[in-house]
Structure formats: structure tokens, C-alpha cells
């Protein structure tokens, strides 16, 4: 029995290369000049209509992208960076163009942070009772 179904088809919306370039320029302009967002959105809406692309979906995805970007600028965590990069694909921005936006990835190396923190640092010349007598926390109770 041969069943033909639309389930195997990729129904994700697509944008032309020109539209992808325009969206990238739109995002780049909004990052560099935040005051131009309202004017640029009108132009983007007109361009979406001519390309027959759903503007409300694109606007929603762009709003989520800018909210994530704002949050990432406050707290540069690797998780937010990955979410931001993933959300950019919903806005028709591929990885190559995302890298051109000059959003620096959070360069956290948690193993280095743990080794350099005071809680995990052992000093040879530290002669506290916990190191000399082998009693952990003994200095707290006076041993």
C-alpha cells in the first residue's frame, strides 16, 4: 500500500536570499541604532507583504530575539548565547550571519573558575588547624 502524505514535507516557512539579507540588515541596524526600530519595522512589514512572508510570525520571533539579546547583554551566560543563536534561525539568520552581528559568546570555563576560587584553593603555607591536624572545620570550634 503506497500512502502519500504531507507529513514528510518540510512545512517550515522559507525566505528568499534577498529577504534573509534584508532581515540581517534590519537586525544589525536595530542593534547599532536602537532608535530606528519603529521605522524599520514598517519597512520590514512592507517587504514581508511583497515576499508573501507572514509578518506577525517574523515580528514575534524578532521580538523574542531582541529580548534574549537584552538579557544576554545583562548576564552573558553560555546558555543565553545558545538560545540567542537558536532564536536567530527562527528569524532567518543563518550561523554565518549571526557571527557577523558581533555578539561575543560568553567565554566561561567553569573548571577554571572552580580551580581559581578561594573555596577550592589550597596554599602550602596555610597552617590552619584543618590542614595541620586533619580535622575538617576544626578551626570553627576551636581545635
Distance CA 143, CA 133 (A): 9
Distance CA 9, CA 3 (A): 14
Question: Which pTM was predicted?
Answer: 0.64
Q: Which position has the grid cell 511583497?
A: 50
**Higher per-residue confidence, 107 vs 13:** 13
Letter string b/e over residues 64-74, b meaning 16 or more CB atoms within 10 A of that residue's CB = ebbebbeebee
Distance CA 87, CA 69 (A): 10
**139's grid cell:** 578551626
pLDDT digits (tens, 9 = 90+) for 33-56: 877 777 788 889 999 998 889 999
pLDDT digits (tens, 9 = 90+) for 65-100: 999 999 999 998 999 999 999 999 999 999 999 988
Amino acid at each position: 500500500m503506497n500512502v502519500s502524505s504531507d507529513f514528510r514535507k518540510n512545512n517550515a516557512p522559507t525566505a528568499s536570499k534577498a529577504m534573509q539579507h534584508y532581515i540581517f540588515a534590519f537586525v544589525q541596524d536595530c542593534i547599532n541604532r536602537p532608535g530606528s526600530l519603529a521605522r524599520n519595522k514598517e519597512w520590514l512589514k512592507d517587504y514581508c507583504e511583497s515576499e508573501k512572508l507572514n509578518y506577525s510570525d517574523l515580528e514575534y520571533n524578532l521580538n523574542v530575539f531582541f529580548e534574549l539579546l537584552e538579557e544576554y547583554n545583562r548576564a552573558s551566560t553560555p546558555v543565553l548565547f545558545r538560545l540567542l543563536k537558536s532564536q536567530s534561525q527562527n528569524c532567518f539568520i543563518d550561523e554565518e550571519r549571526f557571527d557577523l552581528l558581533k555578539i561575543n559568546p560568553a567565554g566561561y570555563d567553569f573548571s577554571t573558575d572552580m580551580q581559581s576560587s578561594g573555596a577550592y584553593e589550597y596554599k602550602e603555607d596555610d597552617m590552619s588547624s584543618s590542614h595541620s591536624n586533619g580535622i575538617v572545620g576544626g578551626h570553627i570550634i576551636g581545635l
